[in-house]
Structure 1
Amino acid sequence: MSHQTASITPISAEAFTDQAKQLGFTHVALLDLAQLDAAWHDTRQAQLQQWLDAGYHADMGWMTRNQDKRLDPGALMADTATVACMTLNYYSDSPPPSCPDASTAALTMARYARGDDYHQVLKEKLRDLLAWCQARDAGFKGRPLTDSAPMMEKPLAAELGIGWQGKHSNLITRSHGSWVFIAELLINRRFADVDAPTPHPDMCGRCRRCIDACPTHALDQPYVLDANRCIAYWTIEYRGEQLPTHIAEHLNGWVFGCDICQEVCP
């Protein structure tokens, strides 16, 4: 079944969006796959390959796999006709979990990891949204994605106008900065009232705060993250026993993730 011949759901895009926001999602955007520009796919594919060829993925070998799927939502669910892309604000001023050992009082962790597992939180909301849709359209099918499948979420969200990818490579939204999780719902239906996507303009301008603030120079090339120099990579993804000196000497208390580039973003 092609994108164009998929059945149109009786649910309006407005009703879908309203329900998603009632469930707590911050931003909601719908993409009819028939409207996705092939040039966007080719450009992003080339950028990904250039990043991989430079070795910026460090030891994250999984980034080299499933490249044919990362920019093709239809490859993740055979009858996908629409992609719903949503964000959830996670910013909180709450301190990281306390440690009884006074000697570790200065240790800290990324804000996204201070609450419940975001995969479970997002998936529950997506399942609730899917159930709401199925109660109104018996043939409505969907697949929830919560950073759990090979999809380039940030470029997709930017293409749909939710925000733009900043010089620190994170998605930046006008309302909540880069403090958002991204989730998708692949849908087998089309919506009658979905407009063609309007990408969000880049609002970074001449700002270099994230670049200058990174203590390990992971962002020396704007818009490109070098995981080999990223504290978040070394404290989350790395499985070795000892950190390299160029990372260890700049930890400054970070034991899981790093928020420096996000914190300095205006």
Structure 2
Amino acid sequence: MRTSTSDSAKLRALIDREAAAAGFDAVAVTRPDAIPQAPARLAEFVAAGFHGSMDWIAETLQRRADPSVLWPQVRSIIVLAMNYGPDEDPRPLLSRRDRGAVSVYARNRDYHEVMKGRLKEIAGKLASRAGGDVKVFVDTAPVMEKPLAAAAGIGWQGKHTNLVSRAHGSWLFLGSIFTTAELEPDAPETDRCGSCRACLDACPTKAFPAPYKLDARRCISYLTIENKGPIPREFRAAIGNRIYGCDDCLAACPWNKFAQAASEAKLAAREDLRAPKLTDLLALDDPAFRAFFSGSPVKRIGRDRFIRNVLVAAGNSDDICLVPQVRMLLADPSPLVRGAAVWALSRLALEEVRAAARASLAAETDEDVRAEWRAALADEMETHA
């Protein structure tokens, strides 16, 4: 839909005004053809297997890499960003091993819920004024929002592959409005990482094979959220007490010194998720888990995956007071939980492994759990060799 220069300027003023009123901290415009390098980079990412078990990335490769394939009618893409910066550095919590570290973005309401309704309101007003069609996306469709945000000038993709802003550091939620209106695009931002590699060096599991490249299979966010199976043994110790996601590479970014804490109450951390006790979390059954994480993004991984994560944190805690709870979870209905409990017990009370194995192995039918017992017994035998 062709738009005159005068009308385009009026539409942009409307978008800026409505975005500010809706609580967004940045808004910019780009074209659907503004990320020509994206298809090759995404194909390389998938070919290397860096996407892990996230099969939907490979399945939507063509649509994800080119907005015009996703929606051929799109003429302009409006990218909006909301600051979710924490009011304190999340990293000191990593030394409190009796507590669980929940990623900053997940400490309150699901940001999809917070943003999507507001984007729809802005899109509706834009469509009413400009005519034509609009579509709204918040990280739930095959849209490469970070490259689009960089092309629009909101920030640049840092060496940790996340968006970095001069005004907000690495703490931005992104959403987009696709429109058939032709709007004047903004200029892209310059990459300002320079020689800094703080984010790369901060990663506990060495998930960056090179700057600007992420191997999701080694990323703690992937391992604790997207990964549906047991967490690979090679990463468990490095995960520490991170029970949902990881903020290390984001928190290490020097540009965060210019970021302000999120101003909106809906993005402020719930007090009970700032530093929850592992002993409280290990006690959650499915109804209690759903109630505690109602409205939180944590809820989507389900109780079993979450307790798997908490058991890894328990195994890293050196807190023998957790042993009774870990021991009880050896009989949990979920094999994912039982396997993680075996590992946690072997870390906290290795001397109990042999007796516990005798009681559990005979009835255990899940091969992953049996493998955990074999590994734990091997560790126990080695310590007594």
Q: TM-score range by the shorter chain?
A: 0.7 to 0.9
C-alpha separation in 1, matches of 2:82 and 2:150: 15
Q: Aligned pair count? A: 245
Which digits, 9 at most, give the CA deviation of each residue in 1:39-64, with x for residues without a partner? x42x2211111111111111111110
Quickly say closer, same or farther: Cα 1:231–1:21, change in 2 above 3 A.
same
Which digits, 9 at most, give the CA deviation of each residue in 1:53-86, with x for residues without a partner? 1111111111101222113223333421211111
The structure 1 residue matched to 2:81, chosen from 78, 83, 87, is: 87
- Structure 1 or 2: more strand by fraction: 1
Q: How does 1:1-266 map to 2 (within 5 A)?
A: 6-8=1-3, 10=7, 11-33=10-32, 36-37=33-34, 40-41=35-36, 43-93=37-87, 105-137=98-130, 139-191=131-183, 194-195=184-185, 197-240=186-229, 242-266=230-254
Return the letter of the residue paired with 1:112. Answer: Y
Contact 2:208 2:214 in 1 (8 A): yes
3-state SS of paired residue (2:78): strand
3-state SS of paired residue (1:136): helix
Return the letter of the residue paired with 2:124. Answer: A
Return the letter of the residue paired with 2:117. Answer: E
Quickly say closer, same or farther: Cα 1:55–1:143, change in 2 above 3 A.
same
TM-score (norm 1): 0.85
Which digits, 9 at most, give the CA deviation of each residue in 1:197-237, with x for residues without a partner? 42211111111111111111012411111111111100000
Return the letter of the residue paired with 2:136. Answer: P
C-alpha separation in 2, matches of 1:75 and 1:173: 28
C-alpha separation in 2, matches of 1:227 and 1:135: 41
Contact 2:146 2:162 in 1 (8 A): yes
C-alpha separation in 1, matches of 2:199 and 2:217: 17
Gapped regions of structure 2 (runs ≥ 5): 91-95, 255-385
Residue 135 (structure 1) shift: 4.1
TM-score (norm 2): 0.60
Q: Which residue of 1 aligns with 2:382?
A: none
What is the RMSD of the two structures over their aligned residues, measured on CA atoms?
A: 2.1
Residue 149 (structure 1) shift: 0.9
C-alpha separation in 1, matches of 2:189 and 2:40: 20
3-state SS of paired residue (1:56): coil
Residue 141 (structure 1) shift: 2.4
C-alpha separation in 2, matches of 1:117 and 1:86: 17
Q: Which residue of 2 aligns with 1:99?
A: none
- Structure 1 or 2: more helix by fraction: 2
C-alpha separation in 1, matches of 2:31 and 2:198: 36
Contact 1:91 1:180 in 2 (8 A): yes
Residue 178 (structure 1) shift: 1.2
Return the letter of the residue paired with 2:205. Answer: T
C-alpha separation in 2, matches of 1:164 and 1:94: 24
Contact 1:211 1:220 in 2 (8 A): no
Contact 1:210 1:219 in 2 (8 A): no
Structure showing greater radius of gyration is 2
Return the letter of the residue paired with 2:113. Answer: Q
Quickly say closer, same or farther: Cα 1:259–1:174, change in 2 above 3 A.
same
3-state SS of paired residue (1:250): helix
Answer 1 or 2: higher relative contact order, Cα 8 Å, separation at least 6.
1
